[in-house]
Structure 1
Amino acid sequence: MSDNSLISVDFDAVDHNMRVVRGAVGPGVAINAVVKADAYGLGAARIARRLVQGGASMLTVYSPAQAEALEGMPCPVLILQPVSRIERGSAIHSMLVAGRLHLVVHDIHHVAELIVLAHEHGVRLPIHLEVDTGLARGGCTPDDAARILQAVAANPSLTLAGVMTHFSHAKTSADRCAAQMRAFDLFVDAHRALIPPECVLHAASTYASLRGSAVHAGMVRVGIAWTGYAADGPDDGESIPGYSDFRAAIRWTSSLIHVRRIARGNSVGYGWSWTARRDSTIGLVPVGYADGYPTLCVDAPQLLREQAEPSRWVRISVGDWSAEAPVIGAVNMDQICVDLTGLEQMLSSQPNGGLGAEVELYGTDRTARNYLPTIARRLGIRSYELLCRLNPRIPRVAVEAAAPLGRVDQGAFRLAVRAAPDMP
């Protein structure tokens, strides 16, 4: 475990974001909280408990290994990956026997495997049928789905707990979402006789669920919503009430460990990708790509653009004072350089010349240049990806309110880790 940086998860913000989702979908729609990939690297067990307290009646993961972290949860857990075997004595075996493990069926051959699994463990297995309406990833065609419904209805070892689909353009196209929902509704209407009334229908992920009730069905599946990073809204320019209500729940902070001066014309880092255009002050932060800080895949024109308009910024804080600073040069395995030019007077007024000042790598202010979705957009990637890149070696700590700006030193990091031993 590293004590060079700290990830703070604001549980007040998580609670708030779940209330925003509930307000958007209303009281009659169930909320399924998606906590894939260890809750996007933030610690599934601790996060999931909070999400259930906040109104989630089901949790979703991708694989059996991810489900193991949720063994103690009081609600059902849905596994999206095709599963055909479960080992006796495993963590998810106890969930299976208790009826809290739900599996997705992807094709007619998978149905036969799930029947064998149910017989082997002596359970009636809750399954969710995924109908492919356009994503062309998991799931099956509507024609195959009809055959699966018949097979499930004929076998008492399986119970149809859900029928689902997944939108291909939830963030980018309201029209495409509507078209897929029409296809899903047509399938459901045509096969009502084979779908029990207690079976839950679900289609919408975060961005789709906030577009309106037409896609809510009986349950919505939300992931990026509970992190607060859905606040950047959809990509199709549609104005949707509620997006601006989300609050970012994650801060990633480190500290300034070294400051030096370089002369105009000197270059910084591997490959000399940044050159000082004036006498400059450079700071060193002990975080790099091994921690998950994003690098650039650059060509010569992009390097020139990066020199003129950096894509990644941090916020330097000392006491009540703070300012943004660009990340410069190549991102290294365990360190980055930031341009502190213009901040010298404030830094020099502090003990140790500003060493130990807090460096906020990802912040919660959506207007700031170190806001995670802003960095992701500038790099041409998704917010999910930046979250999932965060190395497990970085301590995670839960807070009940946003941490105040101020000096953060190595001792504070170690203290925070000891205070929250159950955050992965």
Structure 2
Amino acid sequence: VKADAYGLGAARIARRLVQGGASMLTVYSPAQAEALEGMPCPVLILQPVSRIERGSAIHSMLVSGRLHLVVHDIHHVAELIVLAHEHGVRLPIHLEVDTGLARGGCTPDDAARILQAVAANPSLTLAGVMTHFSHAKTSADRCAAQMRTFDLFVDAHRALIPPECVLHAASTYASLRGSTVHAGMVRVGIAWTGYAADGPDDGESIPGYNDFRAAIRWTSSLIHVRRIARGNSVGYGWSWTARRDSTIGLVPVGYADGYPTLCADAPQLLREQAEPSRWVRISVGDWSAEAPVIGAVNMDQICVDLTGLEQMLSSQPNGGLGAEVELYGTDRTAHNYLPTIARRLGMRSYELLCRLNPRIPRVAVEAAAPLGRVDQGAFRLAVRAAPDVP
């Protein structure tokens, strides 16, 4: 549940995950861990941490034994020993072995020395040994190679690894590649949003991807509808010009809310193609239809092409004003399905979720039965942006 559970509210999401059987929650920083103070399960902080202030929100988690920290190198071990002494605790730590990501953690040789140091110091307890895959979504072969390195390390140092120590390596996409990388625990992230269904990038067919059901929608509403003549251009830079007399609508959402612009590093083909890269779904009663986003994305608003939807809009007393506009949807076949938008922009689904502005209300709109398996259903979260919401 890093980054406030991808910007969706860590405390809210964590409660449902724990109800569903999650045995541990993972965040990146101490600040992110503060939101999980009331959770009954351990919380693992991935970032190197060497100090914790007394009286802080996570201090109570530390003294209760619910706070677990990751050790990244031999110097960090010494800092964690000092931290444990300062607070009078036996500190649960997880050793991160770098098997190919070359980010956090340490080499297998350094990790062996850390195991010896931890075993020699009663202030630390080895709660976990972990690694992280560099190509979980893009290469089954590279995942397997890293797992072999990890398994060899663990097998070579069994004498220094307590039986209760949890081994963990796989995040969402690696978890779905099979049990050979599951070890003792898996760390699922994007899976709980239901947006892991876009599948792997290496073309491998993996059972289970189609069992995911997206749990998050972002909705707003139409606040203005107008007609423009053929040949008129819309928005800054006139990036869209009407090829016919057209109806356009205004939606009060923009890049300040986290709605994606066409980034400069998006594929050149996407910037040149005629088909719009972003779509929304307009809904009135039981009727709905897709509409392309046109012109530049503005700070607080976007324009959509409603041409062809006039009859539906005119059937409403207010001409369609207030109609629901679904910005990110859950229908895999739709243009506004979040992974589809992300893929067209050269991004990932969780990048777009993390960009959602905190000012947008997050509303839990459905509470299903307790989670037990991925395919048994989940809660649904609506992110709403409307002009009448403060």
Of 213-222 and 408-417, the range deviating more from structure 2: 408-417
Please report how far the alpha carbon of residue 277 of structure 1 lies from its aligned counterpart in structure 2 after TM superposition.
1.1
Instruction: Tell me if the contact between 2:367 and 2:378 (Cα under 8 Å) persists in the aligned partners.
Output: no
Question: Structure 1 pair 280/402, CA: closer, same or farther in 2 (3 Å)?
Answer: farther
**Does the CA contact (< 8 Å) of 2:251 and 2:303 recur in 1?**
yes
How far residue 422 of structure 1 moved from its aligned partner, in angstroms, is 20
Shift of 1:279: 1.0
1:229 match: secondary structure: coil
Q: How far is 1:256 from its partner? A: 0.3
- CA deviation profile, 1:304-357 (whole Å, cap 9, x unmatched): 856621110000000110000000110000000000011111111111110110
Change (3 A) 1:307 1:346: farther
Separation in structure 2 between the aligned mates of residue 128 and residue 415 of structure 1, nearest angstrom: 32
**Preserved CA contact (<8 Å) 1:356 1:409:** no
The equivalent residue for 2:381 is: 415
Instruction: Say if 1:318 and 1:407, in contact at 8 Å, map to a contact too.
Output: no
State the 1:263 CA deviation. 1.1
Partner Cα separation in structure 2 for residue 57 and residue 219 of structure 1: 9
Whether the 8 Å CA contact 2:361–2:384 is kept in 1: the answer is no
Residue in structure 1 matched with residue 281 of structure 2 by the alignment: 315
Q: Could you state the TM-score of these two structures normalised by the residue count of structure 2? A: 0.93
Deviation at 1:50, TM superposition (A): 0.5
Change (3 A) 1:110 1:289: same
Offset of residue 413 of structure 1: 19
Taking structure 1 as the reference length, the TM-score comes to: 0.86
Q: Which runs of 4+ in 1 moved over 6 A?
A: 402-424
Are the counterparts in 1 of residues 216 and 381 from structure 2 also a CA contact under 8 Å? no
Residue 334 in structure 1 maps to residue 300 in structure 2: yes
Identity %: 98
**Structure 2 CA distance for partners of 1:325 and 1:416, relative to 1, 3 Å:** closer
SS at match of 1:315: strand
In the TM superposition, residue 278 of structure 1 has moved relative to its aligned partner by: 1.1
CA distances 1:108-165 after superposition (whole Å, capped 9, x unpaired): 0000000000000000000000000000000000010000000000000000000000
The alignment partner of 1:359 has SS state of strand
1:245-278 Cα offsets, whole Å, 9 max, x none, are 0010101100000011111111110011111111
Contact 2:63 2:89 in 1 (8 A): yes
Question: Contact (CA 8 Å) 1:357, 1:406: kept in 2 or not?
Answer: no
In structure 1, the residue corresponding to 2:389 is in which secondary structure?
coil
The answer as to 2:195 corresponding to 1:229 is: yes
Q: What is the DSSP-based 3-state SS (H/G/I as helix, E as strand, rest coil) of the residue aligned with 2:44?
A: strand
Distance 1:409 1:163, change over 3 A: closer
Shift of 1:299: 9.6
The alpha carbon displacement at 1:59 in A equals: 0.3
Q: Compared with structure 1, are the counterparts of its residues 164 and 413 closer, same or farther at alpha carbon in structure 2 (3 Å cutoff)?
A: closer
- Alignment length (residue pairs): 390
Q: Do the aligned partners of 1:319 and 1:406 also contact (CA within 8 Å) in 2?
A: no
- Say whether the 8 Å CA contact 2:48–2:70 is kept in structure 1: yes
Q: Is the 8 A contact 1:255 1:408 kept in 2?
A: no
**Native 8 Å contact 1:397 1:420 kept in 2:** no
Task: Check conservation: 2:139, 2:202, Cα contact below 8 A.
Answer: yes
Q: Relative to 1, partners in 2 of residues 1:389 and 1:57: Cα closer, same or farther, differing over 3 Å?
A: same
Residue 421 and residue 206 in structure 1: after superposition, are their counterparts in 2 closer, same or farther (change >3 A)?
Answer: farther
Could you say if the C-alpha distance between residues 376 and 346 of structure 1 is closer, same or farther in structure 2, counting changes exceeding 3 Å?
Answer: same
Pick which of 382-391 and 302-311 moved more: 302-311
- Aligned partner of 2:258 in structure 1 is 292
Query: Would you say the 8 A contact 2:216–2:383 is kept in 1?
Result: no
Q: Cα deviations across residues 16-57 of structure 1 (Å, max 9, x unaligned)?
A: xxxxxxxxxxxxxxxxxxx00000000000110110000100
Question: Contact 2:369/2:378 (CA < 8 Å) preserved in 1?
Answer: no
RMSD value, Cα: 5.4
* d(CA) in 2 for partners of 1:146, 1:169: 25
Cα distance change on mapping 1:360 and 1:132 into 2, 3 Å: same
Alpha-carbon contact 1:317-1:323 (below 8 Å) kept: yes
> How far apart in 1 are the matches of 2:167 and 2:233?
58
User: Could you say what secondary structure the match of 2:36 adopts?
Assistant: coil
Q: Which structure dedicates a bigger proportion of its chain to helix?
A: 1
CA spacing shift, 1:339–1:402, aligned 2, 3 Å: farther
CA gap 1:382/1:301 in 2 versus in 1, 3 angstroms = closer
Stretches of structure 1 that go unaligned for 5 or more consecutive residues are 1-34
Match 2:129 to one of 163, 166, 170: 163
Instruction: Answer yes or no: is the 8 Å Cα contact 2:212–2:374 preserved in 1.
Output: no
Q: CA deviation at 1:63?
A: 0.2
In 1, Cα distance between the equivalents of 2:377 and 2:130? 49
Alignment partners' CA distance in 2, 1:333 and 1:253 = 17
Match of 1:15 in 2: none
Q: Any conservation in 1 of the 2:219–2:326 contact (CA below 8 Å)? A: yes
Going from structure 1 to structure 2, the CA distance change for 1:360 and 1:401 (only over 3 Å counts) comes to farther
CA contact under 8 A between 1:358 and 1:408: conserved in structure 2? Answer: no
Structure 1 pair 419/398, CA: closer, same or farther in 2 (3 Å)? farther
User: Against the structure 1 CA distance between its residues 315 and 348, is the aligned structure 2 distance closer, same or farther, given a 3 Å change threshold?
Assistant: same
Counterpart CA distance in 2 for 1:343 and 1:266 is 19
- 8 A Cα contact 1:207 1:234, kept in partner: yes
Paired with 1:290 and 1:250, the residues of 2 have a C-alpha distance of 20
Q: CA contact under 8 A between 2:249 and 2:306: conserved in structure 1?
A: yes
* Cα 1:385–1:143 shift into 2, 3 Å: same
Contact 1:356 1:408 in 2 (8 A): no
Instruction: Tell me the distance in 2 between the aligned counterparts of 1:318 and 1:410.
Output: 30
What CA distance in whole angstroms lies between the structure 2 residues aligned with 1:59 and 1:416? 23
1:66 aligned counterpart, secondary structure = helix
Structure 1 residue 407, shift from structure 2 partner: 33
Change (3 A) 1:413 1:184: closer
Give the Å deviation of 1:418: 13
